[in-house]
Structure 1
């Protein structure tokens, strides 16, 4: 029972009240009708008084349901007989016409109750059907949108994969030819040597873009195989720095990894790809001869690997969008790239139950931080791990 008395007079939701409350409200409605009708009995005929009671029955039928309306009907007939039909203050009937009036009043009230309850049930059923129809329409729309999205993603992945495979073979041959020309041809003048270097660098850059396209297609298609193993993160950081030695040659690199940093479970090749993409971005978007720092630390139940660099940082309005496909920090940037590196990083890390974010530093520059779950490495690995591993 509600502790708030005013809630008894709230007309919304009366049908969901307990049955005894609805019966009590039905009797209360009849009592209110009696209070209203008594002063009017001096000015109205009995037929008009009957209409007031019928109006009360209609109200109870609509708001409280069929059974409370039947109770209100019986109570109205008895109240009309007791308070208004001569002799008053008695249930006795002095004339046959009043018997007919009471009988007609009972029958009409019951008929009204029946029809009003039926109308209310039909209205409720219609509202329920409308709600179900709207829900079905919404679910069908969602299903259609999902199906279209799946088809679009499959088509895009197929196109990316086909283009990547078709372009990769001639690019590999072209890169090999440029390398051969550079190392087999002697006595080249400076201009020709610069042209060969530029040719090889451009072919390498395009080849990296194609590799990114192919890897993104594999990630989206779910065809990339994972080989997760428990291993130290510093080894993968070291191999990534070695691969990008030329690209990072004009920057000062610092690495901070605690001596007791735990083993992590990941696919070494894929996490190496993440590190290479992030380090390459740091080198491309920071001025020459500036610092690039790599730091590993524990944060709650995760390992945080952050790569920070100088430069302008990310546009504030694109801090969340930079992980979308073909999205770049600056749309009109002269720095080469197609906007796939961070998308690939996000897909790889999500496959490892990890995450990634970018942020701008108050002192200038930016940091890209990715997170891997700590987990519980097998004790045999931690016991056999040699102490004093060299740090980069």
Structure 2
């Protein structure tokens, strides 16, 4: 049973090799058969044409002798032209009796010449041409039988035949030569086919092993296939897939690490607070006044409440992000007025802006888009909230909305410190808060969620910034 895996492992190579060989054998066999058939047909036509010409010339000479009733001269002519061993010439009278032959000794054995092919037809003043066995031999011969006519009078018949033994020997030599050439061609084609099949199957086998390694979790490996064809392109795409999988695996690990860290912090704070309460921190004997004790207790409970709310927001954000990335979030699409949507977002954060001494300048055209108003509001709030967090006091947030082609464009610009160019490509990643100049109380999920919501609506969001001059987020949504 050990050969079965080997056969399966080389099944592509085997199939390609078998296909090449079958096509080569079929093509060369058809070509060889056509060549042999063409050669045989050409020789037959040539010999028949020669017989036609020879019999015509000999028939005229014999007709002269028969017209003078000179049978001796007819015999001399037949012996002269039929002297070659390969040619036999016979002359018959109008009754089908032999009167001259180039093979007198053999022909004495024949008693009825009318049974010989072509004789009975010729004495009826018709011509016949074809192939038949020899009169007294078993060899194949081409023959022609034609009437001898002079001045409209039938004088007799002439039958001329040529043996094919020499031609058959030549043809046999040619046949074996062609077959030998065919076998040599098949051998050479087998070697070339083996090389071609291996050249195709080997990179496919390499790519299969590469895919198996990817399936086993070995991301980031590089596949090298040096062939300027579709396999090279496929290898390039597999390398891109490997790099993307490696990147996704790294993002997954970072995501898990960040989630663990972000969940651990509020849980640890709650745990510490509960331990403090259990150990009587709210009943500290140093705190003598009941009112002060109530303040301390309220502070502990407020800490537990704040951390619980923080934990709840984090879990809800993670659930939203997971649903959006999995594509399972159902969007209730309807016609939405863009200026009304942005007004709702600004009103929702108005108190926060007042507390941070930040104002908003809104200039939005009356445009209508289609989408889930609540999800779009969530995306806008996340972007505006990000702008508030990183704006300096006594600054403005500029919000504009206008039409560009078949899209509605919304820009949200703050007047904070801006984003470094090295961090711009990463700001829409989960938990990304690496830029300390823009670090706030969040955990880095707001912009990631906003991006997923906008992309789910067929739009896009980009960010530009000049460090020290604020940042600008641009949202594109189809009208």
TM-score for both structures, normalised by structure 2? 0.45
Bigger fraction of residues in strand? 2
Q: Indicate the residue corresponding to 2:403 in structure 1.
A: 298
Structure 1 residues 263 and 120, CA gap change in structure 2 (3 angstroms): same
State whether residues 410 and 475 of structure 2, in contact with CA within 8 Å, keep that contact through their aligned partners in structure 1: yes
In structure 2, what is the equivalent of residue 211 of structure 1? Answer: 316
What does residue range 203-282 of structure 1 map to in structure 2 within 5 Å?
204-249=309-354, 250-258=357-365, 261-282=366-387
Work out the CA distance in 2 between the residues paired with 1:256 and 1:198: 40
423, 431, 448: which is aligned to 1:343? 448
Distance 1:204 1:239, change over 3 A: farther
Quote how far apart the aligned CAs of 1:195 are. 5.4
Q: Is the 8 A contact 1:349 1:372 kept in 2?
A: yes
Give 1:203 shift.
5.7
> Residue 285 in 1 paired to residue 390 in 2?
yes
With over 3 angstroms needed to count, the CA separation of the structure-2 counterparts of 1:345 and 1:268, relative to structure 1, is same
- The worse-fitting range, judged by mean Cα deviation, of 340-349 and 139-148 is 139-148
Aligned pairs for 1:1-392 within 5 A: 112-140=184-212, 199=303, 204-249=309-354, 250-258=357-365, 261-330=366-435, 335-361=440-466, 364-374=469-479
Contact 2:324-2:452 within 8 A present in 1 as well: yes
Check the 8 A contact 1:361/1:367 in 2, yes or no: no
Kept in 2: contact 1:247–1:280 (CA 8 A)? no
Contact 2:367 2:403 in 1 (8 A): no
Q: Quick one: distance in 1 between partners of 2:462 and 2:341?
A: 20
Against the structure 1 CA distance between its residues 288 and 196, is the aligned structure 2 distance closer, same or farther, given a 3 Å change threshold? farther
Q: State the Cα RMSD in Å.
A: 4.8
Question: What displacement does 1:128 show?
Answer: 2.1
What does the per-residue CA deviation read over 1:202-223, in whole Å, with 9 as the maximum and x for residues that have no partner? 6655543333223213323434
Pairwise CA distance, 1:123: 1.3
1:131 Cα deviation after fit: 3.1
Task: Describe the SS at the equivalent of 1:246.
Answer: helix
Q: Distance in 2 between matches of 1:251 and 1:230?
A: 31
> Matched residue of 1:311: which SS?
coil
Q: Is the 8 A contact 2:361 2:399 kept in 1?
A: yes
**CA–CA separation in structure 2 for the residues paired with 1:142 and 1:292:** 47
* C-alpha separation in 1, matches of 2:436 and 2:466: 21
Q: State the shift of 1:262 in Å.
A: 2.3
Residues 333 and 301 of structure 1, relative CA distance in 2, 3 Å threshold: closer
2-structure distance, mates of 1:193, 1:243: 32
1:13 paired residue number: none
* Residue pair 2:418, 2:467 contacting (<8 A) in 1 also: no
Partners of 1:115 and 1:262 in 2: CA distance: 75
Does the C-alpha gap of structure 1 residues 130 and 225 become closer, same or farther in structure 2, counting only changes over 3 Å? same
Conserved? CA contact 1:315–1:329, under 8 Å: no
**Larger relative contact order (CA 8 Å, sep ≥ 6):** 1
Aligned counterparts of 1:133 and 1:205: Cα–Cα separation in 2 = 52
TM-score normalised over the length of structure 1 = 0.53
> Relative to 1, partners in 2 of residues 1:353 and 1:123: Cα closer, same or farther, differing over 3 Å?
same
Q: Is the 8 A contact 2:417 2:438 kept in 1?
A: no
Q: C-alpha separation between the residues in 1 aligned to 2:398 and 2:292?
A: 39
Q: For 1:320, what is the secondary structure of its paired residue?
A: helix
Comparing 242-251 and 364-373, the one that deviates more? 242-251
Which 5+ residue runs of structure 2 have no aligned equivalent? Answer: 1-26, 33-173, 218-240, 274-290
Closer/same/farther in 2, CA of residues 206 and 132 from structure 1, 3 Å limit: closer
**SS in structure 2 of the partner of residue 247 of structure 1:** helix
Q: CA deviation at 1:226?
A: 1.4
Larger Rg over CA atoms: 2
Distance apart, 1:345 and its partner CA: 0.8
